[in-house]
Amino acid sequence: MPNLKVTVLQQPLVWMDGPANLRHFDRQLEAVSGRDVIVLPEMFTTGFAMEAAVQSLPEADVIAWMQDKAQRADALIAGSAALQTERGPVNRFLLVEPNGTIHHYDKRHLFRMADEHHHYQAGDERVVFEWRGWRIMPLVCYDLRFPVWSRNHNDYDLILYVANWPAPRSLHWQALLTARAIENQAYVVGCNRVGTDGNGHHYRGDSRVINPQGEIVATAEPHQATLIHAELSLTALKEYREKFPAWQDADTFTLD
């Protein structure tokens, strides 16, 4: 069964400057090769800005950049951006394959404490797709707090979370990533930004990769702009789920 090589870019973001952020990630990605999945933070073109809903780069430009990077790296490139779409303004998690295929997930749980729900349209579709033999579920930041939405119906192997998760609540970020891995018996990748945004909020990162037993496979130093790498084993995942099949006793939920 295929292993999956993942790279997570824990980086600062330039406030409301799409071209500057793309140039920054151009430089970061130059040295990345031989990976299967490369993960960028939430709203990687702007930072977590409510005004980005109407001042963001065009969706076509962001997708074209991601398609180019995916093709060059021969990897799935993943990250969310504030975009104007047919649905209105959304916080859209884009996942782009080297052949140009695009998967997307619109953030369902909008962060009301920043009035995100007044500026963006909430998504209503749970997304799971397959990439190189792995079933992947993309989620965004505040979604992490809502376990029913991320419940594994025995239909995914890996959750990708991208975030702008502020430093004062870093303990929540770390604990909930671990909880999602354990309760769903799946790998979890969390990519968070670092630095200070245009509203004065500080981010310490704490990006990490966690295995289905809740063990940290790779973690980034807090407050540091860095890349982390991990190799995930589908064989180990399946063996663990067969040996300890707690998933068979999971409760069922119906979402309105």
Q: How does pLDDT run across 206-219, given as a tens digit for each residue?
A: 999 999 999 999 99
Q: Considering the domain boundaries, does residue 256 fall inside one?
A: no
Q: Active-site residue among 59, 69, 97, 107?
A: 107
Single out the residue of 80, 79, 82, 78 nearest to residue 56, CA to CA.
Answer: 82
Q: What CATH number does the domain containing 109 carry?
A: 3.60.110.10
Q: Considering the domain boundaries, does residue 253 fall inside one?
A: no
Task: Work out the pLDDT band at 53, boundaries 50, 70, 90.
Answer: confident
Q: Considering the domain boundaries, does residue 254 fall inside one?
A: no
Pair of tokens at residue 111: 């962060």
DSSP 100-142: S-EEEEE-SS--GGGTGGGTSPPP-----EEETTEEEEEEEGG
Q: Active-site residue among 59, 69, 141, 191?
A: 141
Task: Work out the pLDDT band at 254, boundaries 50, 70, 90.
Answer: confident
Domain limits for position 121: 3-248
Q: How far apart are CA 196 and CA 31, in angstroms?
A: 25
Task: Convert the pLDDT of each residue in 221-231 to its tens digit.
Answer: 999 999 999 99
Arithmetic mean of pLDDT, 15-21: 97
| 130 part of the active site | no
- Count of all residues that appear for the chain in the document: 256
| 191 part of the active site | no
Task: Convert the pLDDT of each residue in 36-49 to its tens digit.
Answer: 999 999 999 999 99
Pair of tokens at residue 35: 């990976």
Domain count, the chain: 1
Task: Convert the pLDDT of each residue in 156-191 to its tens digit.
Answer: 999 999 999 999 999 999 999 999 999 999 999 999
Q: Considering the domain boundaries, does residue 8 fall inside one?
A: yes
Q: Considering the domain boundaries, does residue 255 fall inside one?
A: no
Q: Considering the domain boundaries, does residue 184 fall inside one?
A: yes
Q: Considering the domain boundaries, does residue 12 fall inside one?
A: yes
Beta bridge partners of 4: 232
Q: Active-site residue among 42, 59, 97, 116?
A: 42
| 116 part of the active site | no
Q: Considering the domain boundaries, does residue 13 fall inside one?
A: yes
- Sheet containing strand 3-10, strands side by side: 102-106, 88-96, 76-85, 37-39, 3-10, 226-233
For tokens 């995930």, the residue is 232
